[in-house]
Structure 1
Amino acid sequence: MQRPLRIYFVGAHSTGKTTLARWVRDTYGLPMISEVARGVLAEMEEQLDSMRSRLEIVDRYQAEVFERQISAEAAHVGSFVSDRAFCNLAYAAQHARVLNKLATDPRLAAYMESVKDGLVFFLRPHRELLCEDGVRAGVAWEEVLRIDGMVKLMLELFGIPYIPVDCLPMQERVRLLERVFSLAGLEPDSKDELVPAPRATIRRVDGPQSPSAGIVPGVSGHPRVGNGKAAGNGSGVRPEPVR
């Protein structure tokens, strides 16, 4: 029995993680664990930029994101795709005071071992992808680079095998994913495959028939009937033209 496949897209914000996770969801029919940070932020009715100075709120937010990610993955017994994994630890290091508490939580080591068994794609940053959406931690290029460096540090520190995604065009990213998934035995959802239309065929019919029945193209371009005789008087002899 094939082991369930867990697919993770990790990296800094504004690197295209959610876009690729949605593509995997739609192409391969896998359930998707959406970025839980957005849900937590909505429940708290907060905006990241406005709560930066209230460290107690930031601490609670980062701790809750950590809890929700682990719980969301535990709820899926089969394959899934997620647009994050342990990434919020990088943000906790940058903006909160709870990293030591989260790093010493016994569940973190078990969770990292679970991530090791998945397919982890590490998306590297590009300036062209920076955009404001009211939720992200900030789209300053220097901030993105700091988070990118911390995510890579955790990948190396915990010995998590990963596949770097350095290319920017979506076409190249998709080609990379398709090849990796093919090698892993994951095929696209059959409902998305195009089914070719059936090819029309003409069967040869022997015996008496109307002049138009069973006509197939002749090699010379003259129409022939199903018994192979030239169309005309039915004798197989082409009549002489009237002069």
Structure 2
Amino acid sequence: MEQPARIYLVGAHSTGKTTLARWIRDNYGIPMISEVARSVLAEMEAQVDSLRADVDLVNRYQAEVFLRQARSEAEAEQRGAFVSDRAFCNLAYAAQHGTLLAEVARDPRLAAYMQGVKQGLVFFVRPHRALLASDGVRERLDWEEVLRIDGMVKFMLEFFGVPYVPVASLAMQERQRCIERVLSLGGLEKATPDTRYLSGLTREAAQSLEQSGPEHSHVISKRVPESAFR
């Protein structure tokens, strides 16, 4: 399996995609593409609530977000690998709130973009009610709408034949383990060692624990390697 140049986290709103993308960035040293939705919204001088009522505004907004996302990924790929927490997800919102999806579907740029996505590594992050929240910029969605967007994202993955890895766990630990295993199979290993949390324990602190009693000293000797005190 080749090392992936593109890593995508796709799914509905409030599924934890950004949190996972940042974890990949921080642990694997892979640049993360900045979200473009906020800047597009600011440039259009529009409010989130207006995207619910003005269909023309929705169409212009979602079209610009998609084109800018594709451009950002193309530029990032020239510099090497990247991780993205957006990809084509905004088109699922366009299908739900706008009328431009038929036009986008006929655009050859969409087919070319999805072909690029197929060459990457795609994690499909599934929703959980416990994660539902609003960030004040993207859609303020209720649970039923999150499920509809999740279904639309799945439809697009299947329609374009994009291979994906489902991430269905709620616990962040299990999500990270899943991603770590898949990336390892792809030849990617963490750039940050797992001992980084213990490395802050100084030799003096360890000696102090040893002096406090044998019940502490055996823990230090067994669990903290000598390299942690360098």
When normalised by structure 2's length, the TM-score is 0.80
Gaps of 5+ in 1: 198-243
- Partner residue, 2:216: none
- One-letter amino acid matched to 2:121: L
- Check whether the contact 1:47–1:134 (CA below 8 A) recurs between aligned residues: no
d(CA) in 2 for partners of 1:25, 1:136? 22
Contact 2:3 2:187 in 1 (8 A): no
- Structure 2: runs of 5 or more not aligned: 201-230
1:171-220 C-alpha deviation (Å, 9 max, x unpaired): 111111111111111111157864979xxxxxxxxxxxxxxxxxxxxxxx
Q: Shift of the alpha carbon at 1:47?
A: 2.1
For the 8 Å contact 2:4–2:186, the answer to whether it is kept is no
- 1:58 is matched with 58
CA contact (8 A) 1:7 1:120 kept: yes
Deviation, structure 1 residue 3? 5.7
Distance (Å, rounded) in 2 between the aligned partners of 1:115 and 1:185 = 19
Higher percent of residues as helix: 2
Superposition CA RMSD, Å: 1.9
Cα separation, 1, equivalents of 2:82 and 2:104: 24
Aligned to 1:45: 45
CA contact (8 A) 1:21 1:82 kept: yes
Task: Indicate which of 167, 192, 195 corresponds to 2:169.
Answer: 167
Q: Per-residue displacement from partner, 1:21-77 (whole Å, max 9, x unpaired)?
A: 011111111111122222211222222223322222111101101110110011022
How far is 1:139 from its partner?
2.3
Aligned match for 1:110, one of 106, 109, 112: 112
Q: Distance in 2 between matches of 1:13 and 1:196?
A: 36
Count matched residues. 196
- State how far apart, in whole Å, the 1-side matches of 2:124 and 2:85 are: 11
- Structure with bigger RCO (C-alpha 8 Å, 6+ apart): 2
Inter-partner Cα distance in structure 1 for 2:3 and 2:182: 16
Instruction: State how 1:169-188 maps to structure 2 within 5 Å.
Output: 169-188=171-190
Aligned in 2, Cα 1:14/1:196: closer, same or farther, shift over 3 Å? closer
Assess if the C-alpha contact under 8 Å between 1:119 and 1:162 holds in 2: yes
Matches within 5 A, 1:189-228: 189-190=191-192, 194=196
Contact 2:12/2:153 (<8 A) preserved? yes
Aligned with 2:49: secondary structure? helix
Q: Distance in 1 between matches of 2:3 and 2:178?
A: 22
